[in-house]
Chains A and B, each alone.
Chain A
Amino acid sequence: MSLLTVRNLSVAFPTQNGWFQAVEGIYLEVKAGEVVAIVGESGSGKSVAMLAVMNLLPPTARISCDELKLDGQDVLTMPPKQRRQLNGGTVAMIFQEPMSSLNPCFTIGYQIDETLRIHLGGSKKERIERSLHLLDLVGIPDPKRRYQAYPHQMSGGMSQRAMIAMALAANPKLLIADEPTTALDVTVQAQILELLLKLQQTQGMGLILITHDMGVVAETAQQVVVQYAGQQVEKQQVAGLFKTPHHPYTAALLDALPERAPAGDFLPTIPGIVPGQKDRPIGCLFSPRCQHAQALCHEQQPLLQALPSRQAAWLRCHYPLNLTTEAVDG
C-alpha cells in the first residue's frame, strides 16, 4: 500500500495582480521504504507542494486536489484535529534552515519531548530515555549534554541532526526532507544525507527528498520527479532518467552537471529563468527556454501523459527526446 497518494494537486496564492499558480497538477505516489526525489530550480513549487501535503500553507493559499491520501487515510475529508495528529506521527518533515527551524527559546530536549508527549505518551522517564536514544541515533555526541542545550549553542549540522531526531521521534512512516543539506557546509552535507538514508533504510520509512542537486538524486532516489514552474514535467525511475531523459528540461539539467560535461569546455547552462506570474507562456511553460521547441510548443500546453514503455513514468512534452515515436500525444 502506498504511504502517500497525491492526484492533481494545485496551489495558488493571492497576489496584488490576482492568483499566482505556484503548483499545478502534481501527481505523486510514495511506497514504504521508497525514496522519491523531487528536483527542479528555485521557484518550481517543490516546497509548496510538500507544504500543501503537510497542511502547512498559510490559510490564504487556495489548494485544490482530487485525491490526497496519507497512509491510506483520506486527508481531504478529515476533521482538522485528526488531520493535525497525522503530522509528526504518520508524516514528518524537516526543513532547509535547521537553525531557524528550531525554537530559540526552548532546549533541544524540550522540543523533542513535545513530539513524544503528543504522539507516543509514556512517562517522563521513558520519554527522556527515548530522546537520548534518538539523539544518539542521529549521531549527536554526548546526548545528555545536548539534551539541555539551546539551539543557538549548536552548529548548523548539529541542529539539522536534532531536527531529524525530532522528526523521527514518533516513528513516522513517511519523512519529507525539504533541501535538508542546502544550508549546511559541504563537508557536513554528505554526512547528513548518509544519515537520512541509513535511518530511512533501518526504519523502513518512505522518504521524499526535495533537492536541486542531481548528484544527490543519482545516489539516493529510486523515483525521480522533475518539476518546472509548478508543473511536473517528467517522472521516471532513477536509472532511466539519467540514461534516457525524455523531457528537454531534464536533459538540460543533466547536461549542466559538471560530471557529465565534456572536459575542458564551458559548462552548458539553460538560458533564461523560470517564468513568473506575468510572463507565463501560453504553450509549454518551458518552451521559451527549450532548444527543441517547435510551433506547437508555443501554442498549446502539453498534457501529463503516462509513458507506456516504462513503469510508472510520466511526461509532459509534445516532442520528447530519446523516444522511438515522434510525439506521444500526436
Chain B
Amino acid sequence: MFKFILNKIVLIIPTFFGITLAAFLFVRLLPGDPITILTGERGVSPERRAEMVAQLGLDQPLLVQYFNYLLNILQGDFGQSLSTHRPVVEEFFERLPATLELSFFAILIAIILGVPAGIIAAVKRGRWPDHLLMGVALTGYSMPIFWWGLLLIMLFSTQLGWTPVSGRLDIINYYFDPITGFMVIDAWLSGQEGAVKSALRHLILPSVVLSTIPMAVIARQTRSAMLEVLGEDYIRTAYAKGLPTWRVIGIHALRNALITVVTVIGLQIGTLVAGAVLTETIFAWPGVGKWMIDAISHRDYPAVQGGLLFIAMLVMLVNLMVDLMYGWINPRVRDGK
C-alpha cells in the first residue's frame, strides 16, 4: 500500500510540469493580448506600447518567458494579476472557499440522491422505476447547465420567490468578517440569528444546478456497478445464508459496487470545477470559476496560468485521496502490488 501511494505521488511531478506548460501556452493562444485590454479603446502610442510589452516581459522569446515563469513558480512566486496588481496566490485562495463550499454541497447532493437512485434502478431493472430514474438521469446529463440554472431561477426565485437570485448572503441584514471563508460556517460562528438560513438559501439553487450532471453520472454508474455485482456468486451465498434482502443489497452488493462508484465520484469532483465556472457566472457566485472567467476576458496571463495550475493541483489532490479511499474500500488493493 505504501508503495502504491508513493507511485501516485511521484506521478504528480511530471503532471505538474505538463500543466504549467499547457497553461502557459493556452493563454497565449487566445486572440488579443493584455496590453490592448489594459490600454482600452483609445489605445496608446506605439512607443508606450512597446515599453509596456517589455515591462511585462512579453517581448522575449516564448521559451525564455516559459523558463522564467517556471523559475518563479519553483521559488513560490506565481506572479501578480495584471488587472488588480495583487499576487495571484492571494486572489485565488481568497475565492477558493466559495467554490469549495459550492462544490462540497453539490457533490453531497449528487451522492445522496445519485447512489440510491442507481441502487433502486438496478434492483428494479427493466421495470418502471428503472426507466423513470434512468430517464431523469439522462435528461439531467444532457441539460445545458446555464439553461437549467436560468430555468430554476425563473421558477424558484422569480415566480415563487423562495430563493434569492444571486450572491452568497443577504448582505443588507447580516454582516460578519470572514473567518474560514465558508459562508455557512462563518454565519454559524457569527451567531447572528437567521444568518445560517440565509447562507443556505443562497447556496441551494447553485448547488442543485452544479450537482445535476455528477448526480446523473453517479446514478448511472451505480446502476451498472450494482447490476454487475448482483450477478456475482457471493450474492447468491449471501441469500443462501438467509440474510434479509436489504442486507444483501445494501451491504454485500453495495460495498463491492462502491469500488467503481468511488472512482467515478472522484472523477466527477474534477469536472465539478469546470461546471462551477458556468454555475458561478449564472448565480454571480464569487468563487474561482467566476474569477477565472474574468481573468480570461482580461487576458490576465499570470492569473489564468496560476488559476489553471491551482485547480489542476486540487484535482490531483482529490484523485490521490480517492486512490487512498480505494485501498480502504477494496481490501484486494491493500496488500497490493
- List chain A residues, Cβ under 8 A from B247: 114
Q: Report the bound CA distance from A114 to B233 in whole Å.
A: 17
User: Which of A6-14, A103-111, A254-262, A276-284 contacts the other chain?
Assistant: A103-111
Which of B147-155, B187-195, B325-333 interfaces with chain A?
B325-333
Q: In the bound complex, do residue B243 and residue A118 qualify as a contact, i.e. CB atoms below 8 Å apart?
A: yes
Which of the candidate stretches B56-64, B234-242, B292-300 sits at the interface with the other chain? B234-242
Contact A104-B238, Cβ < 8 Å, known A95-B233, A97-B233 = no
Least CB distance, A172 to chain B, in whole angstroms? 10
Chain A residues whose C-beta falls within 8 Å of the C-beta of B239 in the assembled complex: 55-56, 84, 87
Which residues of chain A (24-76) have a CB below 8 Å from chain B?
A: 51, 54-56
Given the complex of chains A and B, what is the CA–CA distance between A114 and B100 in angstroms? 40
Tell me the residues in window 193-235 of chain B with beta carbons closer than 8 Å to chain A beta carbons. Answer: 232-234
| Chain A residues within an 8 Å CB radius of B241 | 87-88, 92, 114-115, 118, 166
Q: Indicate whether A101 reaches chain B with its CB closer than 8 angstroms.
A: yes
A56-B236, A166-B241 given; 9 more Cβ-contact pairs under 8 Å? A88-B242, A88-B243, A92-B240, A95-B240, A102-B237, A104-B234, A106-B252, A114-B241, A115-B242
Q: Contact between A95 and B236 (Cβ–Cβ < 8 Å)?
A: yes
CB <8 Å contact, A95 and B237: yes
Q: B157: CB under 8 A from chain A?
A: no
Instruction: Collect the chain B residues with CB atoms within 8 Å of residue A106's CB.
Output: 252, 255
Within 8 A of B (CB), among A100-134: 100-106, 114-115, 118-119
In the complex, the answer to whether A104 meets B237 with C-beta atoms within 8 Å is no
Does B256 sit within 8 A of A, measured CB to CB? yes
Neighbouring A residues of B256 by C-beta, 8 Å? 103-105
User: Contact between A105 and B330 (Cβ–Cβ < 8 Å)?
Assistant: yes
Contacts of A313 in B (CB 8 A): none
A103 contact from B240, B252, B259, B329, Cβ within 8 A: B252
A104 CB contacts on chain B under 8 angstroms: 234, 256, 330-332
**A residues with CB within 8 A of B:** 51, 54-56, 81, 84-89, 92-93, 95, 97, 100-106, 114-115, 118-119, 150, 152-153, 163, 166
B interface secondary structure, majority = helix
> Known contacts A105-B255, A105-B329, A150-B331; is A56 also within 8 Å of B238 by CB?
no
Contacts of A101 in B (CB 8 A): 233-234, 236-237
B258 nearest in chain A by CB position: A105
Q: How far is the CA of A22 from the CA of B88 in the complex (A)?
A: 71
| Min CB gap A159→B, angstroms | 11
Q: Kindly provide the distance from the CB of A80 to the nearest chain B CB, expressed in whole angstroms.
A: 9
Is B41 part of the contact surface with A, judged by Cβ < 8 Å? no
Give Cα A153–Cα B331 distance, bound, in whole angstroms.
10
**Cβ contacts under 8 Å, B244 to chain A:** 81, 84
Q: List 6 A-B contacts (CB under 8 A).
A: A87-B239, A88-B242, A92-B240, A97-B233, A101-B233, A103-B234
Shortest Cβ gap from B225 to chain A (Å): 13
Contact B242 A86 (CB under 8 A): yes
| B residues less than 8 Å from A153 (CB atoms) | 335
Name B242's contact: one of A84, A97, A163 (CB within 8 Å).
A84
Chain B 61-97 per-residue mask, 1 if CB under 8 angstroms from chain A, else 0:
0000000000000000000000000000000000000
Q: Please give me the 3 A-B residue pairs with the lowest Cβ-Cβ distance, nearest first.
A: A88-B242, A87-B242, A100-B233
Closest CB in chain A relative to B133 CB, distance in Å: 19
Complex CA–CA separation, A81 to B252 (angstroms): 19
Residue with the greatest number of chain A CB neighbours at <10 A, chosen from B232, B242, B247, B329: B242
Nearest chain B residue, comparing its CB with the CB of A153: B335
Chain A residues whose CB sits within 8 angstroms of the CB of B335 once the complex forms: 153
The reply to whether B237 and A114 contact each other, CB–CB distance below 8 Å, is no
Task: Give every chain A residue within 8 A of B242 (Cβ-Cβ).
Answer: 84-89, 115, 118-119
Q: How far is the CA of A104 from the CA of B334 in the complex (A)?
A: 12
CB neighbours (8 Å) of A87 from chain B are 239-242
A152 touches B332 (CB 8 A): yes
For residue B332, which residues in chain A have a CB less than 8 angstroms away from its CB? 104, 150, 152
Q: CB-nearest residue of chain B relative to A169?
A: B241
Given A55, A56, A100, which contacts B234 in the complex, CB threshold below 8 Å?
A100
Contact of B232 with A100 in the complex, beta carbons under 8 Å: yes
Shortest Cβ distance from B247 into A: residue: A114
Contacts of A55 in B (CB 8 A): 239
How far is the CB of A146 from the nearest CB of chain B, in Å? Answer: 14
Q: Which residue of A lies closest to B244 (CB)?
A: A84
Given contacts A86-B242, A105-B256, contact A152 B331 (CB under 8 A): yes
Whole-angstrom distance between the Cβ of B145 and the nearest chain A Cβ:
35
Which residues of the other chain, B, contact A84 by a CB distance below 8 angstroms? 239, 242, 244
Which residues of chain B from 238 to 272 have any CB-CB distance to chain A below 8 Å in the complex?
A: 238-244, 247, 252, 255-256, 259
What is the minimal beta-carbon distance from A49 to any residue of chain B, in angstroms? 15
Query: Does A56 lie within 8 Å of B240, measured CB to CB?
Result: yes
Are B240 and A54 in contact, CB atoms less than 8 angstroms apart?
yes
A55 vs B241: C-alpha distance in the bound complex, in angstroms?
Answer: 12
Contacts of B255 in A (CB 8 A): 103, 105-106
Question: Smallest Cβ distance from A63 to chain B, in angstroms?
Answer: 15
Please, which residues of chain B bring their CB within 8 A of the CB of A118? 241-243
Taking CB atoms, residues of chain B closer than 8 Å to A92 are 240-241
The docked-state distance in angstroms from the alpha carbon of A156 to that of B233 is: 15
